[in-house]
A = this chain, B = another copy of it.
Amino acid sequence: MKWPCLVFGAAAIGWCALVDSLAADTGENIVVQGIPGRVVACATCHGARGEGGGEGAYPRLAGFPAAYTETQLKAFRGGSRASPLMSPMATGLSDADIDAIATYLERQQPPFAAAPTAEPARLEHGQSLVTLGRWAQGVPSCTSCHGAALQGVAPAIPSLAGQSAQYLSAQLAAYQSGQRAAGPLDLMGRIARGMSSDEMRDTALYIASLRLGAKPEIPRPATPEPYIAKPQSPDAFVPPPESAIPSGPYGELVRLGQNIFEDTPKYATAYAGNTLSCRNCHLDRGRDALSSPMWAAYVHYPEYRKKDGLVNTIQMRVQGCFRYSQNGTAPEADSHELTALVTYFYWMASGLPVGVKPKAAGYPKLNAPKAAPSPERGAKVYAASCTLCHGDNGLGRSSGGQQVFPPLWGSQSFNWGAGMHQVDRAAGFIKTSMPFGAGGTLTDQDAWDVAVYVNSRPRPEDPRFTESVEKTRALYHSDHDYDYYGREVDGLLLGAPGTLEQWERRKH
């Protein structure tokens, strides 16, 4: 479509400009044929359908979220992402060209190249990093953000599936060295700087070895690693490695507990009231010392709780999570699901002394804020640091039909009775653990502000609602500072029955 413009000369320029602008909509043309004189066809290196090429030197682009491709092309064009090959190409692209290319590539689903082979030990090492990470050292699992099948999460998190090992390890190295900037939150920069070169290589090898659509599985050796529980100090505790989960009925129940923890709606369907999973508040499968680890919880129950005025067993405590955080139904104390969760916690606590409350129990306490937390300031923090994962609308992000990042408000989030609804708890969690890979980067005041902003958003009502918002607040929220329960926001009384529905009718 472009050749006639050149052939018919200057007289045709007006018409050609029109054709050009129309042609820009056809991303396929730019990818397959390029823009003569300005841009070499993307297909030359990346393949006509974005399948990648050069035996892995040129990345697969097919299926990338359009917004991600757009961001990257604009970064090449503007110079914030350096590449001797891509920068000159991107310079020749208009915004409309970029949009067209990105839209075209997002729709492509070419077959993946045959998975390359690698030494089993390297693949297993990579598998562990991809599915488990090394959270304690600030390296979340790849699946935590890129999705369970590494398919990417629109709009900004790319698919890793189908990329070559060569490309993936080069990008990790570029993030690590700073050669490739990792966006405003520098998430991948922080994560890559926490990885050794062996780890980067093996992660890349493992991802490249996956077949199309394959979901990386947590590595489970046929013969569990021998593990003899030994007494451990409660304040320097390390749970047993994943690979030590024994075989047999006990190990199966531990794994079921872990599955419920990781994907509650799938494995405890009857009790789940929203799309949240236990892991959303208790990172690293309940192991992370900064987000109320389950090993620490296990050893300090039974304990009296003011919340219900009862001594709670660990079962009763978890029933509370289902009722409030899950906005669902409490599993019976002897249900298979609750027994599985408790067995998982018990296994994780191996060696920890009973009744000695580890320092890691609960969420970290943040100092009181200097200025009263402000939802208006918090909204700005949210926009800058939280939308990547939780969305502009706070409803979280899904990919491949599974919730990857949890909704923070709305009908699929925790209700007004949940612990995470308490501003101080949320602030502590946000400060230390958010965003993934960049915990500790927000200021204390930012954490308080964004916590109170999230707290001021509508969510399902407290199942203990009694008579009026005032009375319910007096019964259950009187001693929590800053929380919005019972306050009016946008003309709606938060916490009152029906508020969420009114809000949703207005917003959607």
Q: Known contacts A316-B334, A334-B315, A343-B311; is A304 also within 8 Å of B248 by CB?
A: yes
A253 in contact (CB, < 8 A): yes
* Beta-carbon contact of B356 and A350 below 8 Å: yes
Which stretch from A59-67, A191-199, A225-233, A486-494 is at the chain B interface?
A225-233
Interface positions of A from 287 to 319, Cβ below 8 Å from B: 298-299, 301-304, 309-311, 313, 315-316
Q: What 1/0 mask marks residues of chain A from 434 to 478 whose CB sits below 8 Å from any chain B CB?
A: 000000000000000000000000000000000000000000000
Q: Which of B313, B334, B347 contacts A355 (CB 8 A)?
A: B347
Most buried by B among A301, A302, A351: A302
* Beta-carbon contact of B342 and A302 below 8 Å: yes
Number of interface residues of A (CB under 8 A): 38
* Beta-carbon contact of A356 and B229 below 8 Å: yes
> A334 CA to B333 CA in the complex, in Å?
6
A295 nearest in chain B by CB position: B354
> A84 CA to B349 CA in the complex, in Å?
66
* Beta-carbon contact of A353 and B250 below 8 Å: no
List chain B residues, Cβ under 8 A from A347.
Answer: 355
Q: Known contacts A298-B354, A354-B349; is A311 also within 8 Å of B233 by CB?
A: no
Interface positions of A from 309 to 349, Cβ below 8 Å from B: 309-311, 313, 315-316, 332-334, 339, 342-343, 346-347, 349
* Beta-carbon contact of B351 and A352 below 8 Å: no
> A497 CA to B354 CA in the complex, in Å?
43
> A316 CA to B316 CA in the complex, in Å?
15
Q: What 1/0 mask marks residues of chain A from 231 to 257 whose CB sits below 8 Å from any chain B CB?
A: 111100000000000001110010000
> A301 CA to B315 CA in the complex, in Å?
14
Q: Which of B250, B315, B316, B350 contacts A354 (CB 8 A)?
A: B350
* Beta-carbon contact of B351 and A354 below 8 Å: yes
Q: Which of B234, B249, B311, B316 contacts A231 (CB 8 A)?
A: B234
- Min distance, Cβ A298 to any Cβ of chain B, angstroms: 7
> A353 CA to B358 CA in the complex, in Å?
13
A319 nearest in chain B by CB position: B334
* Beta-carbon contact of A346 and B354 below 8 Å: yes
Q: Known contacts A249-B304, A249-B311; is A299 also within 8 Å of B354 by CB?
A: yes
List chain B residues, Cβ under 8 A from A333.
Answer: 315, 332-334
> A332 CA to B301 CA in the complex, in Å?
19
Most buried by B among A233, A234, A334, A349: A334
List chain B residues, Cβ under 8 A from A350.
Answer: 353-356
Most buried by B among A230, A231, A343, A350: A231
- Which of A's residues lie within 8 Å of B, judged by CB? 229-234, 248-250, 253, 298-299, 301-304, 309-311, 313, 315-316, 332-334, 339, 342-343, 346-347, 349-356
| 10 sampled A-B residue pairs with Cβ under 8 A | A229-B354, A231-B234, A231-B356, A249-B310, A250-B303, A301-B346, A333-B333, A346-B355, A350-B356, A351-B354
* Other contacts beyond A346-B354, A353-B353: 8, CB < 8 A: A231-B231, A249-B309, A250-B302, A250-B304, A313-B334, A332-B333, A333-B333, A352-B353
